[in-house]
A and B are shown apart, each in its own frame.
Chain A
């Protein structure tokens, strides 16, 4: 009984190998683009990718969003075609890229406002940047100090994988561009670092004392956005597409794509699609703000 099986085995293997080679050649997606980076940009990139793939069936695009830092690290290591980022690349990262022979090329694809959200039952509806900074550096630990109930503040943040973490640290915690700017400020030790934006939203939705800073696209009915005042004398501004675009909302930021040098070929046509009026229409659908 053993012999016939062995005899059959060889042709079977050959056929299997042939089948493998044939499917590899005949499969429809012949070019693939990899996008890695910001958690915030992921919903937007995914919508663009789906739309672009349905128009160009020979292209396959994969999007993953572990964080801007991860994306930039991947770009430096040459393991991604496009890095999606919610913060500008740092000089130290450009230096590292150059030693690896990578030339980071920056393209702004949309804008985003970082909303600050609290539980709907929280009476606080306005905060200044300085108050936010004090909350996130543990100097203010009770809602009473900012006009709320006598309850402890639970400050939630993204972890260091996230571009939002760095953006919020520079623009809010360190008050970049304000007279009170202080470069040495860091997140306080009692701030909770969470591995995903969704986890922060979920916690705010069920915890009356929590505060968190998701991107505009993540805000749901279960949480309440707070109006932000640049300084105590400025009016409070709620985050919205209009206020981000006209620059009155203080915590806004660019959403960026980075490529190794000027994009070419299919990557260029994908980015051209993103920047086209058709692509920009999708931006507001996802909850971000389209370019100009």
Chain B
């Protein structure tokens, strides 16, 4: 009797998440797709003008899309080398005691609210970036990317570390037996062995960077020009939605256009997560025996 009850409760909980996900997709499609009847998809994607409160409004999201790419690129370029190196250190080199202290600290980093990260970026990082690169303003894609890299580091470190630790010890012992040093073992055995797991970690980190809103809203600068360099002020897609949705009347043109951006973001992060999932699955199969 009790078994049945728990079983059906777990089943319901499982179904519920699927229903909610489908609901979100349906809502995004219903609110977002009508935008394409006002602005043809071609103009929506490749238009560079975004004037939602003008008469008549113009919706073109190229600059938002490019801004998202820049910010994500900067975040990835910083967080991947540091994250993978840190994971390799924790998994292969660090004594157990160090690992047990460092790992929880990294996990605390993941728990810092994004608005706090935005505040730190605004107050500490942007003046630094401004003087270091001799820019007009420190509120730019680079500052936002650096803050985002701090936010995706914990994911990259902890998933890559798990992947590295899943590489069987036989591999390492075989490598040492052939006379390889510790570094050679890490470089040529452990990292290649865990490559699919590390790829998945990177993908998850990228997904986090694409979807992050508050930090980029506060730090990226929010200019509407198509950014040609990461040191330009820019407005990524998430920031565009957040800075416009409050003003949009439900069902209005701007509202629909913002939902269309949301739809594109959703497809983007979904794709990244699906790829990560696939790669992780392959990693599991590789060492399953």
Give the B-binding residues of A (Cβ under 8 A). Answer: 66-67, 69-70, 72-73, 76-77, 92-93, 96, 152, 154, 159-161, 165-166, 186-195, 199, 202-203, 206-207, 209-210
Contacts and interface: CB of A to CB of B under 8 A. Distances in A.
Contacts, number: 86
Contacts of A66: 246
A159 to B, nearest CB: 4
Contacts of A192: 137, 139, 221-223, 233
Contacts of A161: 243-244, 246-247
Contact of B217 (A76, A96, A160, A195): A195
A65 to B, nearest CB: 10
B93 interface: no
Contact of A206 (B127, B218, B250): B127
B223 A190 contact: yes
Contact of B136 (A77, A152, A194): A152
B199 interface: no
B235 interface: yes
A187 B224 contact: yes
A244 B249 CA distance: 32
A154 B249 contact: no
A193 B136 CA distance: 15
Contacts of B209: none
14 contacts: A67-B246, A73-B246, A73-B248, A73-B249, A160-B53, A186-B54, A189-B48, A189-B224, A193-B224, A195-B218, A195-B222, A207-B136, A207-B138, A209-B136
Given A165-B53, A195-B218, 16 more contacts: A69-B53, A69-B247, A73-B248, A152-B136, A186-B51, A187-B224, A189-B223, A190-B225, A192-B139, A193-B224, A194-B139, A194-B222, A195-B217, A202-B122, A206-B127, A210-B137
Contact of A159 (B54, B136, B137, B244): B244
Contacts of A73: 246-250
Query: Which secondary structure dominates chain B's binding surface?
Result: loop
Main secondary structure of the interface of A (DSSP, over half): mixed
Interface size class of chain B, counting residues whose CB lies under 8 Å from the partner chain: 20 to 34
Contacts of B274: none
B256 interface: no
A199 B250 CA distance: 28
Nearest to B48: A189
B158 interface: no
Contact of A193 (B123, B137, B243, B249): B243
A195 B242 contact: yes
Contacts of B127: 206
Interface string B18-54: 0000000000000000000000000000001001111
Contact of B247 (A70, A187, A188): A70
Nearest to A189: B225
Contacts of A76: 249
Interface string B133-147: 000111100000000
A202 B242 CA distance: 21
Chain A CB within 10 A, most for which of B127, B137, B235: B137
Contacts of B139: 192, 194, 203
